[in-house]
Copies of this chain bind each other. A is one copy, B any other.
């Protein structure tokens, strides 16, 4: 029997009372706890409870639940059963009943606010909390396996460093709370759910979470295989992206007796997959297409009646992504027509492609160069993937604010979203120091 649960591992000393060394140890422990109990997009129940609890221990006010989301923008939610299964799992692992109730239905994540004692602007900082939908490597040379903090949730793994991001977010909160006397203005610290699939930023943004921010930082660890100590004050190459699900429905038939009576949804899906991957490159810049999952058919001797695909397109610009998306939908529809199947396509998430503000990048770079542990500061960095924070950045910029993405690389053992991905935990304290200094000195 499982006696050892998420909650039983909870740390005991409020972070803002810890010195820097002690904080470092706490962040490592916290990150490993989160790594052990990863939660997928919109199901970050235990994770959010833990964060709220630790923020409250530091006397930081925190909002959560329906208040911080606009339900009309919560795309790509798991099914009700899955949401409920994950909520029950979180309860079994010791999460707070009352908080869980407030998050029921996927209203995960939270927003903290640290008010400085001096007047000044409002600064937004965003970290994300969700894991990836893959099973962690169990081989002996994978550190989480060796040191005993591998994922114990099958099919879930923190393979993008969001476990570290959450810990960094709490670390930043603790340092700012400690320095409220010298903090000018307010800091809104956003613990965002559902970054994977580019889903969570839209509903938080629509709920107005970043509306007061005059300056906005998002952050990410890893990405490029560079030595620890290299820090990017701005990034480019965010790929615009659209996520959608496809359901093909044909007609089942006995594969031996009446093959001609079937309308084969799997054949339609296979045709769609090959032709989706074959969508031509675009002169306007990098594009991507992926069919991440495909489920089709019910039994060996039945012509498959249904097929479900999860698709995503990306583009270096919004235009390129729109081209990819339009072509992809055309391909799916035609593949369905070919086999006389119906074709339902459902939007599941997406984001545009933002730009970091050049002057903010330069000012941030100047400050970062002074931070202990920083060896090199890059002003241009090729992000090369989607970043849900872009939705928040765009809103801040539309309202006249400035925004940038901070990246904290380290030597990568394996690429992101790989079963062998692991974080160099030294990056966490470095990131906490950098962001804290940026906030205090900007």
Contacts and interface: CB of A to CB of B under 8 A. Distances in A.
Interface of A: 132-135, 155, 196-197, 223, 239, 241, 243, 252-262, 264, 266-267, 269-271, 273-275, 277-278, 280-288, 290-304, 307, 310-312, 314, 323, 330-331, 333-335, 337-338, 340, 348, 384-386, 415-419
A286 B287 CA distance: 9
Given A273-B267, A338-B330, A417-B254, A323 B293 contact: no
Given A267-B275, A270-B273, A340-B330, A253 B417 contact: yes
A134 B299 contact: yes
B287 A304 contact: no
Given A266-B273, A267-B277, A270-B269, A252 B292 contact: no
Contacts of A262: 280
B275 A275 contact: no
The count of identical subunits is 4
B258 A415 contact: yes
B293 A298 contact: yes
Contacts of A386: 256, 301
Contacts of A197: 300-301
A417 B301 CA distance: 8
Given A254-B417, A255-B417, 9 more contacts: A252-B417, A256-B288, A256-B385, A259-B280, A266-B273, A281-B288, A290-B302, A291-B304, A293-B299
Contacts of A273: 266-267, 270
19 contacts: A133-B299, A133-B302, A134-B298, A196-B299, A197-B300, A255-B417, A256-B314, A259-B290, A277-B278, A280-B303, A283-B384, A292-B297, A293-B304, A294-B307, A299-B310, A299-B417, A330-B338, A334-B338, A335-B338
List 4 tightest A-B contacts by C-beta distance, closest first.
A277-B278, A334-B338, A255-B290, A133-B299
Contacts of A310: 297, 299-300
A304 B133 CA distance: 11
A134 B252 contact: yes
Nearest to A196: B301
Contacts of A338: 275, 330-331, 334-335, 338
Given A274-B274, A415-B257, A301 B292 contact: yes
A363 to B, nearest CB: 28
A132 B305 CA distance: 14
A150 B310 CA distance: 32
Contacts of A241: 256
Of the listed residues A155, A260, A310, the one surrounded by the most CB atoms of chain B closer than 10 A to its CB is A260
Nearest to A324: B260
A417 B334 contact: no
A292 B283 contact: no
Contacts of A299: 132-134, 196, 292-293, 310, 417
Contacts of A280: 259-260, 262, 264, 277, 303
Contact of A385 (B254, B312, B416, B417): B254
Contacts of A419: 252
Contacts of A330: 337-338, 340
Contacts of A340: 330
A338 B298 CA distance: 27
A419 to B, nearest CB: 7
A295 B294 contact: yes
Nearest to A133: B299
A262 B291 CA distance: 13
A264 B286 CA distance: 20
